[in-house]
Amino acid sequence: MILNTGTAKLASFGAQVVLGAILSADDFGLVAISTSIAALTSLLRDGGVRQVLVQRGDEYESLAGPVFWMGLAMNMTACVLLVAAAPALGEAYHEPELPLLLVITAVSVPLTTPSAVLSARLAIDLRFKAIGLMQSGSALLRYGGAILFAMAGFGAVSFVLPLLLVAIFEWVVSYALTRSRLWSRPWDMRRWKELFSRAQWVLLGTFGVGLCNTGTYFLLGATLSSTVVGVYFFAYQLVIQVGILLANNVNQVLFPALVKLRGEPMRLRAATERSLRMLMLVAAPLSLGLVAAVGPIETLVWQGRWAEAVVPVQVVSIVYPLNVALGVPMSLQLASGRFREWALMLLAYGAGLVAAGAVGAWTTGTAAGVASWTGGYIAAGAIVYATLALRSAGLRVGAFLNAVTPSWVLSIGAAGTALLIDRFALEDSSAAARVLASCLVFGVVLVVGARVAIPGHLCEARDLAPRGGARLVTRLLRL
């Protein structure tokens, strides 16, 4: 799944480089508004039953049919509502292109139903390699398609047209991997009520995820110009690609794995702590690396076109690893069947994030100001969320901080060192030289610091690597 994350990250970053050169800030602003509106339909997405299906994996054969048909019914409802509301929303936002983006997004929603259920089958069977390969293909198709459509002159629509292709691709691949003919299974509508009683909290939690990822754009679109919204959207999307992919992958792996440890409290606690350490060891460098390199990268790639996005990227990147770390306590909540707690806490966290963005917009009116407020909220809110969610595993806030702080602080120190050297020693160098130097300094300081301060974390990561890679890491780092 980490290899999948790397592939998808490279694809998304490459796409943003190209799209940032082709499309305008207004295009990005329009996509931000469209994305935030479409996220509201997550309240109906799949009927919320996929998570219930994974949590009750031993009942898959009897539940797959009702889950598929109920999910399809809910997704069709979401599609119809979004299509019906599209014209009015276009007028409300004074964006004539907005309805088309919303309609295309709406049509893609029902097409995701088969892959949602079939991927649950793969997760129950712990077939993570298959899931990772399918998602890597989806990422390449989505971002490659966006580039091709943008080059063909589709403008903001380029972002949403690939959603149709990805939905069909995942449907075909997931069926090929499982050979499960969901559409031939009985509806068994008598079980819908039982499923919905559990899934209603998943629906609310999914809506909370939508608030966290896109809710801020919805409010900003009504208060700030599309240009400012576009700058913030560009910056935030650049940062959270790592977070979304890592957190999603962590949830896909840990959720079904922790389900199997529910009856073993000691193993469950050890798995939770280890997962936090390993996730942060990956997430912190990937996120903080942007702090060090985004300035020179912007100069090299976009030549000042997105200069206003540099500070927002740096501000959010500093704190975003804490948000990524929430993937572990969230997986624990789902594995324990605490759907109600998960949903209410996610709604509260997402609402707070939107409110923080609103305060930033009202007090500053700039993308950097919004990023400062949302970044501050993420730092505090993530710690509070983790503290409350980890109590069931017998972990207190100290255990959470001990697991995530070392890699985070080392990454901040490495990013700060790279920034200082870039500012005082490389100011007159070419953009390419600055990018190379920033990445090199960041990497060297981080690796040396980790070898000195957290060799135990490195040994844990080495033990998870393939045998050949583990030997190489041991020799290079003298572990």
263 phi/psi in degrees, rounded to 5: -90, 5
Whether the CB-CB separation of 325 and 472 falls below 8 Å is answered with no
- Choosing from 173, 206, 223, the residue where a domain stops is 223
Contacts 24+ apart (CB under 8 A), 80-89: 80/106, 81/41, 81/44, 82/37, 82/38, 82/41, 82/106, 82/109, 83/107, 89/37
CA–CA dist 359, 355 (Å, integer): 6
What pLDDT shows up at residue 154? 87
In sign, the C-alpha dihedral spanning 130, 141, 174, 331 is positive
Beta carbons within 8 Å of 149's beta carbon, 6+ residues apart: 157, 158, 161, 162
353, 424: one domain = yes
Domain range holding 435? 227-479
CB proximity list for 360: less than 8 A, separation 6 or greater: 369, 370, 371, 372, 373, 374
Domain boundary pick from 223, 254, 276: 223
231 and 217 inside one domain? no
Angstrom CA distances, 201 to 32, 195, 259, 425, stand at 26, 11, 18, 54
Q: What is the pLDDT of residue 176?
A: 92
User: Are both 64 and 106 inside the same structural domain?
Assistant: yes
Helix residue ranges, H only, 260-365: 265-301, 310-325, 327-335, 339-364
Low-confidence ranges of the chain (pLDDT < 50): none
pTM: 0.73
User: Do residues 254 and 207 both lie within one domain?
Assistant: no
CA-wise closest residue to 43 among 204, 154, 196 = 204
Please check whether residues 215 and 255 belong to one and the same domain: no
Distance from C-alpha of 459 to C-alpha of 476, rounded to nearest angstrom: 12
Q: Examine the domain organization and report whether 200 and 71 are in the same domain.
A: yes
* Pair 167, 295 in one domain: no
Residues 136 and 240 in one domain: no
Q: Are residues 130 and 236 in the same domain?
A: no
Could you tell me if 14 and 150 are in contact, meaning their C-beta atoms sit under 8 angstroms apart? no
Give the model's pLDDT for residue 355.
92
Integer Cα distance of 130 and 174 in angstroms: 9
C-alpha distances out from residue 425 to 414, 417, 418, Å: 16, 11, 10
pLDDT of residue 248: 67
In terms of phi and psi (left: phi > 0; alpha: psi -120 to 50; beta: otherwise), the region of 48 is left
Structure tokens at 15: 């796409």
- Lookup: tokens for 240: 């959270």
Domain co-membership, 280 together with 382? yes
Query: How many angstroms separate the CA atoms of 51 and 252, rounded?
Result: 10
d(CA 45, CA 25): 29
HEC-encoded secondary structure of 146-208: HHHHHHCCCHHHHHCHHHHHHHHHHHHHHHHHHCCCHHHCCCCHHHHHHHHHHHHHHHHHHHH
Asked if 396 and 375 touch (Cβ cutoff 8 Å), the reply is: no
Please state the domain count of the chain: 2
Q: Are 2 and 87 contained in the same domain?
A: yes
- 460's CB contacts (< 8 A; 6+ apart) are 274, 277, 278
Burial 438-450 (b: 16+ CB within 10 A, else e): bbebbeebbbebb
Q: Which of the 8 DSSP states describes residue 1? A: -
Among residues 223, 242, 267, which one ends one of the domains?
223
Region of 15 (left: φ > 0; alpha: ψ -120 to 50; beta: rest) is alpha
Angle, vertex CA 413, rays to CA 409 and CA 419, nearest 5: 145
Closest CA to 144 of 154, 130, 159: 159
Question: In this structure, which amino acid lies at residue 27?
Answer: D
For residue 42, the model assigns a pLDDT of 60
* 24 and 115 both lie in a single domain: yes
